[in-house]
Structure 1
Amino acid sequence: MASENNTKVTIETTVNAPVEKVWEYWTEPNHLTKWNSASDDWHTPFAENDLRAGGKFLSRMEAKDGSFGFDFGGVYDEVKLHEFISYTLGDGRKVETTFINQENDTKIIQVFDPETENPIEMQQQGWQAILNNFKKYSEQQ
């Protein structure tokens, strides 16, 4: 469900890795399935990604106990290699991710339209937890 107001939510982190590695780990499905969860009891068993304007992506997110799952997907609006990705989710919400090269570090800033079913703070915490998992995964590889 699309956001009914103009609220945008921003999350960010700095990954101790060069932007080329960060980009690869962010966009390639074989990496995405290893970090894309907000907690240890969730996982992403399947992901596909056609990283280009007009290309589609899909991640299957599931509780490890099988009690719940959902598809997270959309269509890319803009892709600038090692710099920027924007997409529109299946419900019409927009997401923008910026990658800022800082020598051997990469700052990631993600701005998204919240959905209307859950509190904004909860959504921000969930998306931040996934971003934190990405940071941890990228720095350990």
Structure 2
Amino acid sequence: MSKTNDADSRTLTLERVFNAPISLAWEAWTNPEHLAQWWGPEGMETKVNKHDFRVGGEWEYAMTMPDGQVFMAEGVYTEIVEFEKICSTANFKPMTEGVEIQAYFEAKGEQTKFTFKCVHETEAYCKQQEEMGFYNGWGSVFNRLADFLKSKM
């Protein structure tokens, strides 16, 4: 199997078009005050503990469920191309660890085409994460992002 096919078999992808210009979509991902407003599935409250937005910089967010349970999200930025992509290692403790997340941005007039990829270490782990609700969880996160962007327009 080629490396491309191997990566494809370990990757879950979500695509959205946001009704916001790319500059605003980018700012929502890069400004910690904005991130705290939408990061995490519906019902979670997010506190940004670290946000060193540069290649090699660390990020860490504490996400609190309505029942008080706290989940930690952390990683290290591995690639940043302004208005194009943000790549990072990621751990979402205790559910998902050792993944890479990739956020791609493409201007479409006053809209932004957004592609989100989560690359897992193995195909089996990828399948497990999909079955645990990857699309519902991240879909909820990006619904919150869409609402946040709408509120800033």
Query: After TM superposition, is the score higher than 0.5?
Result: yes
Q: 1:30 to 1:8 in 2, by over 3 A?
A: same
Contact 1:37 1:130 in 2 (8 A): yes
Query: 1:20-99 counterparts in 2 under 5 A?
Result: 20-40=23-43, 42-66=44-68, 68-90=69-91, 91-99=97-105
Gaps spanning 5+ residues in structure 2: where? 1-7, 92-96
Which segments of structure 1 move beyond 3 Å, counting only runs of 4 or more? 114-119
Contact 1:114 1:123 in 2 (8 A): no
Q: When the two structures are superposed, what TM-score results if normalisation uses the length of structure 1?
A: 0.86
Q: Which residue, out of 109, 112, 135, partners 1:124? A: 135
Structure 1 or 2: larger helix share? 2
Q: Which residue, out of 112, 119, 140, partners 2:118? A: 112
Contact 2:61 2:73 in 1 (8 A): yes
Q: Which residue identity is paired with 1:71?
A: M
Q: Which residue identity is paired with 1:113?
A: V
Alpha-carbon distance in structure 2 between the residues aligned to 1:114 and 1:129: 20
| Identical aligned residues as a percent | 28
- Greater mean deviation of Cα atoms: 70-79 or 31-40: 31-40
Q: Does residue 1:8 correspond to 2:14, yes or no?
A: no
Q: When the two structures are superposed, what TM-score results if normalisation uses the length of structure 2?
A: 0.80
SS at 2:98's partner residue?
coil
Displacement of 1:37 after TM fit? 2.5
CA RMSD of aligned residues (A): 2.0
